[in-house]
Amino acid sequence: MKTPAWRAAMIGLGLFVAASGAARAQAPAGNAAPINIVALGDSLTAGLGLAANEAFPAQLQRALEARGIAAVVANAGVSGDTASAGVSRLDWSVPDSADAVILELGANDALRGVDPAVTRAALDTMLRRLRERKIAILLCGMLAPPNLGSEYGHAFNAIFPELAAADGAMLYPFFLDGVAADPVLNQHDGMHPTAAGVAVIVKRILPQVEALIARAKKERHGDRETP
């Protein structure tokens, strides 16, 4: 029997809390502890159809390590989650040890034709609550499928840049940039990236993640880190 997605996420986050705490405790004197990043999303984050080490959070952590950046990236992706579902699990998905969040939700809202106002309100709630906790945020945008019509697409696609601008969050405009609709980089369902597709996402988003880490370090140096 497969472990339910939400339970797997809880187990993974428990390991993240333990690992991040150990990393801070074992950091050599004079060296900053690793930045703790939570990738909060749906199946695109969880890595549906992929091995755990091929999923976005794992590949991102390796890419950061290759650049000499100390970071722990937790996989808080739950397949099928909408933005509203993300609100309901935000507090346990993002523990107190988190320095930054990569927020990737909304794809399932568009696939289900959820009212864009509902998606906007849910994402806005998450941004506000994370900001109140002084956690740096990288909001990942999504585009509505063209078959939903131009009116829906206009309303949905505008959510991400408008919220990022209003909240002061960093924005990666389209999470699947360079991968969407490419059969070579997607699994047979045409929606979920292969491991190679995830590698493309990581390569393209990496500069934004590095900027996110820089912002998180400023927050930590100010209010979140005790001497």
Which residue in the list 81, 93, 99, 192 is annotated as catalytic?
Answer: 192
Q: Is residue 10 part of a domain?
A: no
Report the pLDDT value the prediction gives residue 63, as an integer from 0 to 100.
98
Residue 142 structural domain: 33-224
117-146 pLDDT, tens per residue? Answer: 999 999 999 999 999 999 999 999 999 999
**3 is a domain residue:** no
Structure tokens at 212: 């996110």
At residue 114, the pLDDT reads 98
Report how far residue 173's alpha carbon sits from residue 143's, in angstroms, rounded to the nearest whole number: 9
Q: How confident is the model at residue 219 (pLDDT cuts 50, 70, 90)?
A: confident
Domain assignment of residue 78, yes or no: yes
Whether 88 is catalytic: no
Is 7 inside any structural domain? no
At residue 100, the 3 state secondary structure works out as strand
User: Residue 47: is its pLDDT beyond 60?
Assistant: yes
Please pick, among 150, 188, 189, 223, the residue that the annotation labels catalytic.
189
Distance between CA atoms of 55 and 82, rounded to whole angstroms?
19
State residue 221's pLDDT score. Answer: 73
Which CATH number belongs to the domain containing residue 72 in this structure? 3.40.50.1110
Q: Could you please report the per-residue DSSP string of 124-160?
A: HHHHHHHHHTT-EEEEEP----GGG-HHHHHHHHTHH
- pLDDT tops 80 at residue 9: no
Establish if 201 belongs to a structural domain.
yes
Between the ranges 6-10, 204-208, 219-223, where is the mean pLDDT highest? 204-208
Number of domains in the chain: 1
| pLDDT tens-digit map of 67-117 | 999 999 999 999 999 999 999 999 999 999 999 999 999 999 999 999 999
pLDDT surpasses 50 at 3: no
In a domain, 59, yes or no: yes
pTM: 0.86
Query: CA nearest 10: which of 84, 55, 18, 189?
Result: 18
Give the mean pLDDT of 151-157: 98
* Active-site residue (options: 20, 42, 43, 97): 43
Q: Is residue 134 part of a domain?
A: yes
192: in domain: yes
189 catalytic per annotation:
yes
